[in-house]
Amino acid sequence: MKVLVINAGSSSLKYQLIETDTEEVLAKGLCERIGLEGSKLTHSPENKDDYVKEQEMPTHTTAVQLVLEALVDPEHGVIEHIDEISAVGHRVLHAGQVYSDSVIVNDDVKKVVKDCFPLGPLHNPANLIGIEACEEAMPGKPQVAVFDTAFGQSMQPKAYMYAIPYKFYEKYGIRKYGFHGTSHKFVSGRTIEFADLDKSSCKVIVCHLGNGASISASIGGKCVDTSMGLTPLEGLIMGTRSGDIDAAVVQFLANNENLSVEEVLNILNKESGVLGISGVSSDFRDLSAAAEDGNERAQVALDAFIYRVAKYIGSYVAAMNGVDAIAFTGGIGENDCATRGKICEYLGYLGVNIDPENNSKRGEEMYISTPDSKVKVMVIPTNEELAIARETLALVK
Ligand code: ADP
C-alpha cells in the first residue's frame, strides 16, 4: 500500500510517498514559500534526478496539487495515477488531552485540531490547512492524523501537572503535554525490539537530540515523563531554545529591556539555547569547530547542553526506579559521537560502560555500550515519516 505522508507548516509542506509493504520511500520533497513570492517545489524521486519547479503557490491546496502532479509526472513521477495512493498520513502537533493515539480524520477530529489552535498556534492551523488541502485535492481518500502529543498522554498527573492554581489547568488545559511524541514512540519501540527487552515492564530513556531536543522515559513502551511541556520550550537546552529556566527571567527581561512578554518568549525560543550562550551558532558542527579553536563560550554551550541531558537522565532513572536501556536519536544523537560520549561519562554510577570504537560510528542502529554494561546504550535512528506511514496503515488497512 502507498501512503502519502504530509508535514504541513505555515509556509511549507514536506511530503514522502512510502510503499508500506517494503517501507521504501518512493519519493520525497518540499514545497517552500507557500503564500509568498518565489515559491518552489523540490521533488526527489527514488532512482531519478531531483526536480525543482518554481511556481506560484498562493495556498496549500495549490502546493498539494503540485505535489500530486510531480508524483504522477511521466518523467519525474513514481506512480501512474493518484488512485495508487491508498491513504494520507498527517503530522499534527497538538491534540490537547483528547487523543492518545492516531485517528482517522473526520469532522470531529478537525474540530479538535482547531480547538487546539491556542495550544499550538504556529503548527495546528497549518496542519489543519494541510488536511483540508488534501481533502480538496483527493476527495474521499482516507486521511489519518498522527499527533506529536499523543505519546505523552499516558503520563500521570504527578508528572504532567504544573504547580500553579488548579483552575488554570481546568480552564485552559495548562499542563505538560510533551512533543516529538511520534519519534519517542518509534525509537522506544525499536529499542525494545533491538535489545529484546520485556515488552510490558522495560524501562527505557530516549534522548531525541536535534535542533529541537527532548527526552522521554517510558515503562513497557508507555510514556511516564517527557521533557517538553505546554510548548516545546521546556526541558533540554536546544539549538535556539532555552529549555528550563526560572519563569521570573521573563519578568526581569521584560522590565529591564522594555520588552513585551511575546518579545521575551521569542528570544527564549529563537535566540537562546546553545546559540544564545555561544553567540556562534545553533549547529553542533559549528559549535564543536569553534570550541576546538578555543572559543570558550562555544565550549560552555556544549558543556551546558551535555550537563542538562545528563541531569534529565538521572531524574528519569529516579522517576522509574531504574533503567534498562538508553537510546540516542536525532541529528546530534545519531551523529555527534563526542557529545554522546560526554553525556555517557556522567552515567558511570548506573554501570554504563561505553565502547569507544562503537561510539565512533555514526548514523546507524547499534549498541555503543559494551556487552557487560549494566544499562544498554544504543543509537536508534528516528524516522518520523515511516512512523506516520505505519500508524496510517494500521488504521486504514
Ligand atoms: P531538527 O530535525 O530538530 O531540525 P536534526 O535532528 O536534523 O534537527 O539535528 C540537527 C543537529 O544535528 C545540528 O545541530 C547538527 O549540527 C547536528 N548534526 C548533524 N550531523 C552531525 C554530525 N555529523 N556531527 C555532529 N553533529 C551533527
Identify the CATH homologous superfamily for domain 198-379: ATPase, nucleotide binding domain (3.30.420.40)
Query: What is the whole-number distance in angstroms between the Cα of residue 116 and the centre of ligand 1?
Result: 29
pLDDT of the chain along its 397 residues, tens only? 999 999 999 899 999 999 999 999 999 999 999 999 999 999 999 999 999 999 999 999 999 999 999 999 999 999 999 999 999 999 999 999 999 999 999 999 999 999 999 999 889 999 999 999 999 999 999 999 999 999 999 999 999 999 999 999 999 999 999 999 999 999 999 999 999 999 999 999 999 999 999 999 999 999 999 999 999 999 999 999 999 999 999 999 999 999 999 999 999 999 999 999 999 999 999 999 999 999 999 999 999 999 999 999 999 999 999 999 999 999 999 999 999 999 999 999 999 999 999 999 998 999 999 999 999 999 999 999 999 999 999 999 8
User: How far are the Cα atoms of 2, 12, 74, 304 from residue 310, in angstroms, in the given order?
Assistant: 41, 35, 52, 10
Query: What is the whole-number distance in angstroms between the Cα of residue 84 and the centre of ligand 1?
Result: 34
Please give the pLDDT value at position 115. 97
233, 284, 342: which to mutate for ligand 1, most atoms within 8 A of CB? 284
The H or E element that residue 291 is part of is helix 284-292
335, 343, 383: which to mutate for ligand 1, most atoms within 8 A of CB? 335
The C-alpha cell at 101 is 493515539
Closest residue to atom 21 of ligand 1, CA basis: 335
274, 306, 329, 336: which to mutate for ligand 1, most atoms within 8 A of CB? 336
Distance separating alpha carbons of residues 157 and 176, to the nearest angstrom: 9
Question: Identity (one letter) of the amino acid at 345?
Answer: E
Identify the architecture of domain 2-147 in CATH. Answer: 2-Layer Sandwich (3.30)
Please give the pLDDT value at position 203. 98
| Residues annotated as catalytic (active site), given as ranges | 148
Domain map of the chain by residue range? 2-147, 198-379
Let me know if the fold of 2-147 is the same as that of 198-379. yes
Please give the pLDDT value at position 29. 97
Query: What is the whole-number distance in angstroms between the Cα of residue 251 and the centre of ligand 1?
Result: 32
Helices (H), 122-207: 124-137, 157-160, 166-172, 181-194
Query: What is the whole-number distance in angstroms between the Cα of residue 360 and the centre of ligand 1?
Result: 16
Long-range contacts of 136-142 (CB under 8 A, 24+ apart): 136/61, 136/64, 137/61, 137/64, 137/65, 137/68, 138/68, 138/82, 138/85, 138/88, 141/85, 141/86, 141/87, 141/88, 142/86, 142/87, 142/88, 142/104, 142/395, 142/396
Give the count of beta carbons closer than 10 Å to the beta carbon of residue 2: 18
Please give the pLDDT value at position 125. 93
Please give the pLDDT value at position 363. 84
- Cβ < 6 A, ligand 1 pocket: 210-212, 239, 283-285, 330-332, 335-336, 362
Please give the pLDDT value at position 122. 86
Distance separating alpha carbons of residues 149 and 153, to the nearest angstrom: 7
Closest residue to atom 19 of ligand 1, CA basis: 331
